[in-house]
Structures are given as structure tokens and as C-alpha cells.
Amino acid sequence: MNDIRKIERDVNMANTKISARSVDVFYGETHAIRNVSVDIADRTVTAFIGPSGCGKSTFLRCLNRMNDTIETCRVTGDIELDGRDINARSVDAVQLRAQVGMVFQKPNPFPKSIYDNVAYGPKIHGMARNKAELDEIVEKALRRGAIWDEVKDRLHAPGTGLSGGQQQRLCIARAVATEPEVLLMDEPCSALDPIATAQVEELIDELRQDYAVVIVTHSMQQAARVSQKTAFFHLGDLVEYDDTDRIFTNPRDQRTESYITGRIG
């Protein structure tokens, strides 16, 4: 009995893709994230939930060092990807971001053709040796982004000409195209209709076979549907982090319960 437990824990340990310890984030004087520690498992969907302004996006952006690009932003604490400190000098932020892809809260396609949008990452990372390979990568990514059927006849039309929901799926395809190991998604479905949402959720479920996926969402149902782990943030604190089932059926903290039942937020 005891042995089995030990083995299970070992597997869990080996499974940890990202491990954050005592992370604090400041925007100038504002303390946006306070002492957050989280282990994000590989091949798992982790949902971040919490009221608006509680720091979900901020914490997500720590995981691929996007906060480096904000001059006023300061991050302290340890974040390890596969056991390697991502803030170490030896780690190249550019390389890291190719490994840890990101889909932003607002759809932000480049003002280029749909094809060039998706081919952007593969091109700068030299993933294709010729045009045919690139075509293949683009098609695969667009299919995974559940948008291929809608755009296959106009791959060379500008990506900005798509509807909001299509743009968001294009951005997902663009992020997937670089074959990241971790995919960070900041409210990927906030601009999508129920059908596209279902498609994206299906995609997330599929991505879980190979990647660690972290998704920020305001929809409890979505968190419950797609994620295995859920973290609840409140005012910069990580209040509770546990299996999704447990968070939604039997939360430990009073604040979590209030939030998921709709009393705060």
C-alpha cells in the first residue's frame, strides 16, 4: 500500500513540466502576484480561474518570460521548466518562447496573409526545409486550430480580414505551428461562439496528448470541461490549487467556494 503511493508520487514528480516557487511580480510599486508556488504537470490541462484583475494573465506571462518586455515589470522567485531555471542567464528567452507558446487574450493576427501568419514561427525557427514542408506545417496547424475548412480557399487573404473568432483560432494555429512543449492560452475562447468554443476545447483535449496546456478562463464550465487541474487566484494570491474535480465539488477555501458559486468575482 505504502509502496504504491510512493510510486504514484514519483510519477507525479517526473511529470512536472513547470514548477514555480515563491513567485512575486511587481509592476513598479504594484504587487500583482504574491508568493505563488505551482507545479504544472505535463500532458495535462491546467486551468487558471479567478476574478478579473487577480493576476492570471500576469502569472501566465511569467511562464514564458513575456513580462521581460514590460519595462516596469519585475519578477522574483524560481520558475523551472523541465528542472531548468528559466530565468537563468544561460537560458535564452527567445528560445524559451518557442518552447512555451502563447495565445493572447485579444486575437492579434499580424497584418499579413493567413498563410504567412501561420508560417511565421516555423520560418524564423527554420522548421521547414522547403516550400512543400512549410505548406504541410501550415495546413496541419490550421487543421489543429479548427479553422482549415474556413480558410483553405483564401490562404493568401489577410489574416486581419477574418472575424474575431476566426482570428483567435488563427492565433491558436499560429502558436501550435511552432510545436511548443507547453501552450499558454489566455482566455482563448472569449471571442468565440459555442461551436468554435467546442472545437477549441476539442483541440485543447487533443493537445494534451503531447503538451502541457495552461488555460486562463472566466467560464467555470469550461474549466470543468477541459482541465484536470485548476488553480484559483484572488487578488494576486494563489488561493487553491488542486484537481479540477475537487475544486468544483469540494473546495477547501471559503473564497474558492464563493467564487465558483458566483458570489464573488
Ligand X SMILES: Nc1ncnc2c1ncn2[C@@H]1O[C@H](COP(=O)(O)OP(=O)(O)OP(=O)(O)O)[C@@H](O)[C@H]1O
Residue ranges that bind another protein, judged by CB under 8 A: 64, 66, 69, 71, 94-99, 101-102, 104, 106, 108-112, 120-121, 124-125, 158, 160, 171, 174-175, 178
Nearer to ligand X, 32 or 142 (CB): 32
Residues with Cβ within 8 Å of residue 81, at least 6 apart in sequence: 17, 18, 96, 99, 100, 182
Out of 38, 55, 244, 251, the only residue in the binding site for ligand X (CB under 6 A) is 55
Nearest Cα to Cα of residue 186 among 55, 30, 24, 38: 55
Residue 221 three-state SS: helix
Q: Select from Mg ion, ligand X, another protein, none the partner in contact with residue 227, using the beta carbon and a kind-dependent cut-off of 5 to 8 Å.
A: none
Q: Are 43 and 15 in contact (CB under 8 A)?
A: yes
Kindly state the DSSP code that residue 207 receives in the 8-state scheme.
H
Nearer to Mg ion, 58 or 244 (CB): 58
Site track for ligand X across 80-119, x = CB under 6 A:
-------------------------x--------------
As measured in angstroms, the least distance from the Cβ of 187 to Mg ion is 6
Site track for Mg ion across 57-76, x = CB under 5 A:
x-------------------
Nearer to another protein, 117 or 230 (CB): 117
d(CA 241, CA 39): 9
Cell of 64: 514564458
Nearer to ligand X, 59 or 115 (CB): 59
d(CA 138, CA 158): 15
Instruction: Go through 14-40 and write b for each residue having 16 or more CB atoms within 10 A of its CB, e for each that does not.
Output: eebbbbbeebbbeeeeeebbeebebbb
Out of 1, 4, 11, 52, the only residue in the binding site for ligand X (CB under 6 A) is 52
Out of 10, 53, 92, 250, the only residue in the binding site for ligand X (CB under 6 A) is 53
Under the binding rule (CB under 6 A), the answer on residue 32 touching ligand X is yes
Q: Is 173 exposed, middle or buried (0-12, 13-18, 19+ CB in 10 A)?
A: buried
Under the binding rule (CB under 6 A), the answer on residue 58 touching ligand X is yes
Under the binding rule (CB under 5 A), the answer on residue 16 touching Mg ion is no
As measured in angstroms, the least distance from the Cβ of 205 to another protein is 23
As measured in angstroms, the least distance from the Cβ of 218 to ligand X is 6
As measured in angstroms, the least distance from the Cβ of 119 to ligand X is 29
**Dihedral sign computed on CA atoms, order 20, 182, 58, 90:** positive
What angle do the packed helices 164-177 and 194-207 form, to 10 degrees?
A: 10
Catalog residues that contact ligand X under the rule CB under 6 A: 27, 30, 32, 52-58, 70, 72, 105
